[in-house]
Structure 1
Amino acid sequence: MRDWHAAAAAGRMMEPALPRLALADLPGGAEDVVLCATAHLATDLRRAHGEAQARAGRRLWRPLQGATVAQWLEHTISAALLSGEIPPAAMPGRFLTPAQERPLWETALREEMDSEPLADLFDTEALVAAAIEADQLFRLWRIEVPADLESEEYRAFRRWQELVAERCRNARWVTQAEALLWRLACLERGAGKMPQRLLIAGFMTHDPLLEQVLRALMQRGVALFELDFATSAPVAPRHLPAADRAAECRAAAAWARDWRARKPDVRLRIALADLPATQATLEAALEAALRPQAVGAGWAPLPRDFVFSDGQPLAEIEPVATALRLLRLAIGPRQVALAEFGALLCAPGWAGDLSAADLRARLDVFLRECLPAQTTLERIVRRSLAWLRQEDEKAEKANDTDSQTRRLAVALAALQDAARQSAGRAAPSHWAARFAAWLENLGWPGERPLLVVERFACDALSELLTATILLDDVAGRIEAGMAWRELRRQCRARRIRPLPGTRTSQPAIEICRLGDVPAGPLDGVWLLGLNESVWPPLPRPNPLLPAAVQRARGIPAASATTLAAAAREAQAVWRASAAEVVFSWSRQAGERMLRPSPLLADALAVGGLLSEGKAALPAESTAPAIELLDDARAPAVSADERVRGGTALLAAQAICPAWAFYRYRLGAAVLPAPTFLLDARARGALLHLALEAFWRGRAQADLLRFMESGALPAEIARVVDQALAEFGRRAVEPLPSRLAGLEKVRLEALLARWLALEAARPPFRVLACEERHEISIEGLPVRLVVDRVDALADGRLVILDYKSGRTARAESWSEARLVEPQLPIYASCVYPDRPLAAVALARVVSDAPGFAGVAEESGLLPGVKSLDEQRRRYALEVFPDWPALRRHWAGSITELAREILQGVAAVVCERESDLAYCEVKPLLRLAERRQQWEETQAILAPGAGAAGRAVE
């Protein structure tokens, strides 16, 4: 046979000493058993064996017996126990499941860490997982740590291990690692029925458990073989260096699409070095390439041509994800993030998710407008119930008999009742029963018909809740939060894989990890993400055991050499599994340059280069011709259509016409962002109120008189108090006294500094403060509020617009499209016939207050230059005099109004930075346009492109 100890020292498992057998040569049945490195490989082998038998013309065959080493040991020894071959008295105790063992370790950790001052900073869940893994490594690999290599982490692990062992001895419980060793000992003593032949498959690193099993089977006369994976001679792979990971995924998807078009019954495999990180990107690329017409929820139930072998975590499937969030809210901390509650309120899976969807969305908007970013569940429910009562009264007046307000109110009240019932400690099964009752009261899993995978997920969650009774003995009485965390952990660990019976044939494309070698013949293989940072995998020794000891014992995860050898062998298996093999990697990730894996050196020397542009070419389609529509122009504004927005509408039209159309004609908007009582807008409103209270009906002479008499601080305090009082009357909730006091101090200091600047101006009197106007521009009604209009001694006007931030700018006033049109509108449309001296933005800020604008002559406003002094911006040939500037403004604003009325709605802008505050930016689809441009550049000849106004 072979020297197993030498193999262990080398960190290898497979050697040529074992004869090889092909999968097609196995008849199946109990006489042949295949021990697989992973459960996924065992499943794949059973499927591939059945396909091989069918290709051989057999109508009936016995299924292949495949399992992992641990699974086969458990099955074999359990059968010996049931048959009486092993007496029940020989059992060492009650075998614990992984879910039962975990609370023992968590209790041991918490008992020791309770005295640690920084215990809350530890990731207990990850630490428990590391401790369980360390215990298995410690026992299976027979680890002994010399005293000089003992670390603090190792000593802590040994203490936890002893605490767990003591509890197990007292209760006659057996951990997973101990149970595995006991079954192995039974096998070595001759227990269990043995197969005639045993094959091993997929083991590319040393495994001590397999080593001992094979030694025992060899002594019992079982013929040992190695499964031969090769289905063809190794081929020279083509390779693709892609621009980034997204481009790499698009190229792989295009390659799969081309194969699918040429051969409908194709079998492809895309293997990823970093599947979890790339899965979403690759899934989107495959959807776009294979089902470009699949837009909308109606396509969700239909089978896809690709499948992810890993499946999806149960916790991420929508009904279960909603259930976990609802339970978390019921048992969670006293403070609740309003944004998270709003997302849950609009989520499917509970309380009228279909019939009350609009009602719940409107409630979300209401809560965002009246509650701070962090609040309590009790406060949320109280506000919600009050709002729902008002909506119910409106529905009754409108004779709406199908109102959903009461049903939603009942669900929210049930949520608050659940929160009240979540205190105290109880057995896990008690909390599981409560969780199930709470979900039922909340209308889970909702009204929408569930997809097959969603129904399966709901059943899986119910199974986990029912199985919680098994934790009562080991976990004892626990808090609701701990029960929820254990349920969430199990939902994350359990993966829902593609269900048998949901489609008539195997999907053409399977996506898996690079370590999941294929079991049967394939038409094509694409190995994706072969960068040096992820392939071969980096060593990850267990943090609780000394890394040097792990490397000395040959533990694969601790040795870079072992991992590299295993990766090289897996790569060789992939090369011999299909007629076409493609290796790809990314050249860049963000600003970071990447390099291919060093394991590709030999392949790059013999393989050909695959063009990224060729891989991304669209396949010829047999679908009907697609009509190209120019959506740059919307319907013209009709006579009965009311378009709102005021100066903001004109500003949006100037920056990007599509912004104005989506926001002000279609009514698209972002949800209000919950804030801690005073956001930038609220502070700006307070400033406007205070300045209005000070200046209304006054002149600069009044300000100078206050300053000379020393009464200015008292007057400032009075107007600030008046502003705060008015703000409180308008607000949904009054400001807390402490916050109001801080805001009063801030406003008083701000006004004092600003008024000192105003005192340096030439004499003026205030004609209007916060004056409202309704005007018509080319038939477009526009409502305006002029912050302030001053009159100089000679009767000319100075128009001011307060700005409490530093984002506003006057640079666009000389451009064809006015992105800051407020003051130009006032100057040219509200007061077209009045003599005008200056227009300026009044930046009332604490660090650099001042004016920014343009004046007919210098010296009218501090820091504001005259038109003649700004000729770099206002060219003489375009703006020869002051009236020309006003005519330019009038013409530009008129043209913007005409565009709106005519339906001009193209996605164009001069500077993408102008879209920083665009509320409908996702609707502009800038990323999609950028991606389309990049794909086009990959196809076109270098240098092809278009110049002109940015279309972003």
Structure 2
Amino acid sequence: MKNVVHITANSRLSRFLKQQLLADQWQGKTVVKTPEVMTWSQWWMQWQQAILLRGELPLEELPHKTLSAFEAQLVWEQLLEEKLQQQPELALLNQTATAKQLYQAWCFFAEYFPAPVFDDIFITEEVRLFLDLKTAYLAELEKHHWVDAVLQQQQQLAHLKTIGHLPESFQLHGFDELSPFMKQWIKIVEAHGSEVYQVNDDSQATAKQQRLYSALNPQDEIQQIALWCAEQLKQQSETKPLHAIRIAIVAPNLAEVQQSLSWTLDEVLYQQFGQALPLKPARHTLYNISLGTPLAQTPIVKNALQTLSFAMMPDKPLTYADWSSWLTSPYTLGSLVQRQKSDVRCRRLQWASFKWPNLLKAIQLKDTEKDRIRLPKPLMKTLEKAAEAPQLTSLSLSQFITQAEKQLQEFRWAESSKERALSSIEMQQKETFLEALAAFAQLNMTQIKQPVSVWLGLLKRYLNETVHQPQTQGLVPIQIMGTLEAGGQAFDALWVMGLTDEAWPRPPNPNPFLPMALQRAQGVPRADALRELDYAKQITLRLVKSSPEVVWSYPQQLDDRVALPSPLLKLDELKTAQTYDPKPYQSLANQLWAQGQPLEWVEDIRGPEVPLGTRVPGGSGILTAQNKCPLMAFMDYRLGARQQLEEVEEGMRSNHLGTLVHAVLEAFWRQVRTQHNLLDMDEKAVSELVLQLLEDAMAPLTHQFDAHYLSLEQHRIHQLILEWLVLERNRPNFKVVAFEETHTPTIGGIEFNLKIDRVDEVFDTETGELSRLILDYKTGKASVGDLLKEPIEAPQLAVYLHAYHEAVAGLGYGILHSDDGVKFNTLISDEGVMLKDRSQQVFAKLAAKEGGDFDGMNWSDFLQALRDEVSELAAQIQQGQAEMTFRKETDLNYAASLLALRLPEVIAQMGEQGLMDEESVE
């Protein structure tokens, strides 16, 4: 029996072929020899190890190092940078991408082009740049006694000519074309007397059943594929065990459809076979996807890179989004629930960009239970240790790797815990990352010292080029792969998808640093459209013979454009294809909906009552919400929709402006107290005091915002408050008697927590006695006229009257608006209480107006009517009234529960019943 070595085009085919050969040999035998099946690169590695062990290849002939593709690209990038320094006119937008193309050009040149090929060719600037850098690249490799992949291949072919010991026969499987290096290898092997036989599918019959499906769009195509897979699986499982079934989906654009294809298959296979859905840990699927994922894009490795960045560069500013994703990751140290709670509270700080050691200091300063942020103790200690550790400005590669491994251990990165154990896939990704980190340590950069940021950038690039494919446990019946991976395999049923004229054949993509004409002449991959058409035709003809049943498909619509079928669908071998009849598709959501009980419409407008004496959340805010829309109040406050995660925004938020204005004016009047004292101060003294108070109030923001930005904001707010104090000077005499005062009145049987910004003691000209003026600071728009409407639209202001039952001469707003300026907007009992301008509503004048809404009403009765309206709203809240009614659609714009309110459906239903007017939907 001949000694045969089977050489395959890829590892997937190696596994399939080995299983097939073993199955054939086991028939009627108890002992069989394991067939030698491997890829071409694996055979070269095995051959070189063998001749080294036999002493046929002296060690001194081996290079000091064989560069990986990543290392070779780094050399090209370094040479390119030196070239650009010499010739600035060659400035490039992306040196990394250009270096990658230059290395590709070198690989093509070394394999496809004979030496004197450029003699009669016009040399462009791009080709000249490549030739210059090629000379420098070869000199650099010779200097260090290095080789790269193509040079190693040339050396191996040279050694193969003089060294024999080859098997009697080679069989090549799955090769749609042979590269120049492989053709040289075949000649040398045959010269040594070995046979080389290229296994092809010429002897196989064309598929007995072919069908063609013109899908409406990619979604329709994928849905039909999922249904077809389930149908085939049912049919095949009647005659074969699950591990022997081979159903395949082949896509030329696999990366584009991978996610949606996985999602749809998960739904269909769950419905028909009970396959676990993606969120279930340690699930087993009935399908496998050949396309791997760049290691740097896996969540567990993203967390590792974030951990290294935080730990090794604590002085680097980061966004809150980065901090939040790291803090709430399942791979970060400490209790996940506690970290999530910390994230909620950290968001309230509104630090959009910061250095994390500054955040730790701010956390430690939070001394009240309401504001305290508790990170898990192990995480807090580890962060504190990292923040205090001395930072090295420049490290060698070995120092960087040592520090990286140390920090990952310190932060106990991706360790299984009581809360959660790593899944099989996560364990594989973790192990692959650690292996990649060890391989990164072997780069040819041992003598270079660079900042941590540069090393981390290189590590991320390296991990982006390291593709990880999780190992599937056992054999699965459905294989999803690209066109190249399907080579040489046989299937029970095959669906080839995505066959538009844009995707198949692939568009040409010649290398810009080699002459186009020569690339076409030498048959360089992706050189021109004709070559790609021939190559795609060869693969298509191979696929049509790989299964007794083949379905071809393409979408008719791609995004906003019409898609045309691939010209290869018109091949003679495909003309017998019948039209594929689509099956009705039902999503998992629709299936569950259909299986549910028929809907019974019940009008439910009342939630559970609030127990008497209980404090309701939201203070005056819940009254405002109840007045606008009872259901919004119930959802936002009683169900807690307003407790959702805060968005952290760049720049100072509008509520920060309000907080600063409140803080400065409170501190100012605590010192000044009366208008008399204000008038005794000159403008300079007032300005200096306001500036000092503003600096104190803004001090916590220095870690959060840029100093120049804070300076501009400080100047703006300073001028706004000074303009406000000019108004205060011109008022009738007053004294500030309460600042940010808290009250907890019981209204309608429930308790409210109220904070009144300010209460002044003023002289009421109507009664001739001292009275109270209640003021609410606003940095946005507000109108005291809302108190005069029926029903009132400012219950948040009227509720303050429940805190003051004694004489009240007026209430209203102190408005400090950046665009509209400053003004008092108050409702007062009579003239003389406040400034005389159009912004003040004098109730005495309203009551004196015959036929008006308040004709003949006295001030005290009006105030009591406001209290009664607030009591009615409070009673509604206590009783659980939560009907979906509103006066204006705009009143719901800022509802935290806006999606849950299902406003479009409500508007449609109310419109059908004639309950909507034009004013409501403005």
In structure 1, the residue matched to 2:336 is 357
Find 2:101's aligned residue among 118, 122, 130.
130
1:422-821 to structure 2, matched below 5 A, reads: 422-426=392-396, 428-448=397-417, 449-468=421-440, 470-471=442-443, 476-499=448-471, 502=473, 505-517=474-486, 519-530=488-499, 533-547=502-516, 549-576=518-545, 577=547, 579=549, 581=551, 583-585=553-555, 587=557, 589=559, 592-599=560-567, 602=570, 607-608=578-579, 611=582, 614=585, 616=587, 637-638=610-611, 642-649=615-622, 657=631, 661=635, 665-666=639-640, 669-672=643-646, 678-689=652-663, 717=687, 720-721=690-691, 724=694, 727-728=697-698, 741-750=711-720, 774-775=744-745, 778-785=748-755, 803-805=778-780
CA contact (8 A) 2:351 2:704 kept: no
Report the CA distance between 1:332 and its aligned residue. Answer: 3.5
Gaps of 5+ in 1: 1-26, 396-402, 867-877, 934-945
The change in CA–CA distance for 1:732 and 1:106 in structure 2 (over 3 A counts) is closer
Q: Which secondary structure state, in structure 2, belongs to the residue aligned with residue 431 of structure 1? A: helix
Of 352, 363, 381, 1:373 maps to 352
**How much identity, in percent, do the aligned residues show?**
21
Which residue of the partner structure matches residue 902 of structure 1? 880
Q: Which amino acid aligns with 1:203?
A: D
Which of 110, 114, 131 is the matching residue for 1:139? Answer: 110
Question: Which of 330, 336, 345 is the equivalent residue of 2:327?
Answer: 345
CA contact (8 A) 1:697 1:767 kept: no
| Cα deviation 1:75-94 (Å, max 9, x = unaligned) | 44543444455555655665
The residue aligned with 2:847 is none
For 2:79 and 2:159, locate their aligned partners in 1 and report how far apart those are by CA, in whole Å. Answer: 30
Contact 1:338 1:374 in 2 (8 A): yes
Further displaced range: 60-69 or 796-805 = 796-805
SS at match of 1:239: strand
Asked if structure 1 preserves the Cα contact closer than 8 Å seen for 2:7 and 2:40, the reply is no
SS where residue 656 of structure 2 aligns? helix
Residue number in structure 1 paired with 2:848: none
How far apart, CA to CA, are the structure 2 residues paired with 1:569 and 1:655?
Answer: 67
CA pair 31-728 structure 1, distance change in 2 beyond 3 A: closer
Q: Distance in 2 between matches of 1:250 and 1:810?
A: 59
> Given the alignment of the two structures, is residue 104 of structure 1 paired with residue 75 of structure 2, yes or no?
yes
- The residue type paired with residue 457 of structure 1 is Q
Change (3 A) 1:79 1:350: same
The aligned residue for residue 281 of structure 2 is 300
2:306 is matched with which residue?
A: 325
Structure 1 pair 446–753 and aligned structure 2 pair: CA distance change class (3 A): same
Contact preservation (8 Å) 2:176, 2:487: no
- Taking the aligned partners of 2:430 and 2:685, their CA distance within structure 1 comes to 66
CA–CA distance in structure 2, aligned partners of residues 593 and 881 of structure 1: 71
Is the CA contact (8 Å cut-off) linking 2:783 and 2:825 kept in structure 1?
yes
Q: What is the deviation of 1:275? A: 3.4
- Looking at structure 2, the residues matched to 465 and 852 of structure 1 have their Cα atoms a distance apart, in angstroms, of 66
Partner deviation per Cα, 1:556-601 (whole Å, 9 max, x = no partner):
2232333344345444544553635252437353xx3452444476
Q: Does the 8 Å CA contact 2:615/2:752 hold for their aligned counterparts?
A: no
Distance 1:357 1:638, change over 3 A: farther
CA shift, 1:337, in A, is 0.8
Q: TM-score, normalised by structure 2?
A: 0.73
Which whole-Å CA distance do the structure 2 matches of 1:507 and 1:809 have between them? Answer: 69
**Cα 1:915–1:527 shift into 2, 3 Å:** farther
2:210 aligned counterpart, secondary structure? coil
Question: Matches of 1:824 and 1:765 in 2, distance apart?
Answer: 21
Secondary structure of the residue that 1:34 maps to in structure 2?
Answer: strand
- The alpha-carbon distance between structure 1 residues 483 and 777, as it changes in their structure 2 partners (threshold 3 A), is same
Aligned twin of 1:942:
none
Checking the alignment, whether the CA contact within 8 Å between 1:788 and 1:801 is kept in structure 2 is yes
Displacement after TM superposition at 1:178 (Å): 0.6
Task: Look up the equivalent residue of 1:169 and give its one-letter code.
Answer: E
C-alpha distance in structure 2 between counterparts of 1:812 and 1:195, whole Å? 98
Query: Offset at 1:317?
Result: 4.0
Change (3 A) 1:625 1:746: closer
Question: Deviations along 1:20-55, whole A, 9 cap, x unmatched?
Answer: xxxxxxx9x95152341x44444444455556778x
Query: What's the counterpart of residue 18 of structure 1?
Result: none
- Partner-residue secondary structure (3-state), 1:470: coil
C-alpha contact 1:240 1:609 (8 A) present in aligned 2: no
Indicate conservation of the 8 Å contact 2:668/2:693, yes or no: no
Cα deviations across residues 624-649 of structure 1 (Å, max 9, x unaligned)? 98999999887654568654113444
1:166-205 mapped onto 2 (5 Å cutoff): 166-187=139-160, 191=164, 193-203=166-176
Deviations 1:116-141 (A, max 9, x none): 88999854543443333222112111
8 A Cα contact 1:237 1:575, kept in partner: no
What amino acid is aligned across from residue 102 of structure 2 in structure 1?
A: A
Given the two structures, how large is their TM-score scaled by the length of structure 1?
0.71
**Residues in 2 aligned to 1:924 and 1:670: alpha-carbon distance in whole angstroms:** 13
Give the Å deviation of 1:321: 3.1
Q: 2:290 aligns with which of 309, 330, 338?
A: 309
SS in 2 for 1:198: strand
Partners of 2:365 and 2:815 lie apart in 1 by 41
Please state how far the C-alpha of 1:365 moved relative to its aligned partner. 5.0
The unaligned stretches of length 5 or more in structure 2 are: 830-834, 843-852, 906-910, 917-922
For residue 844 of structure 1, report the CA deviation from its aligned partner.
Answer: 1.6
Q: How well do the aligned residues superpose, as a CA RMSD in angstroms?
A: 6.1
- Please say which structure displays the higher CA radius of gyration: 2
Aligned residue identity for 2:529? A
Note the C-alpha offset of 1:735. Answer: 8.9
- SS at 2:200 equivalent: strand
Aligned 8 A contact 1:349 1:444 in 2: yes
CA distance in 2, matches of 1:860, 1:718: 29
Matching residue of 2:919:
none
Paired residue type of 1:560: A
Could you say which residue in structure 2 is the equivalent of 1:939? none
Rounded to whole Å, the distance in 1 between the matches of 2:391 and 2:700 is 37
What is the aligned counterpart of 2:212 among 237, 240, 245?
237
1:161 aligned counterpart, secondary structure: helix
How many pairs are equivalent? 869
Q: What residue identity is the alignment partner of 1:450?
A: L
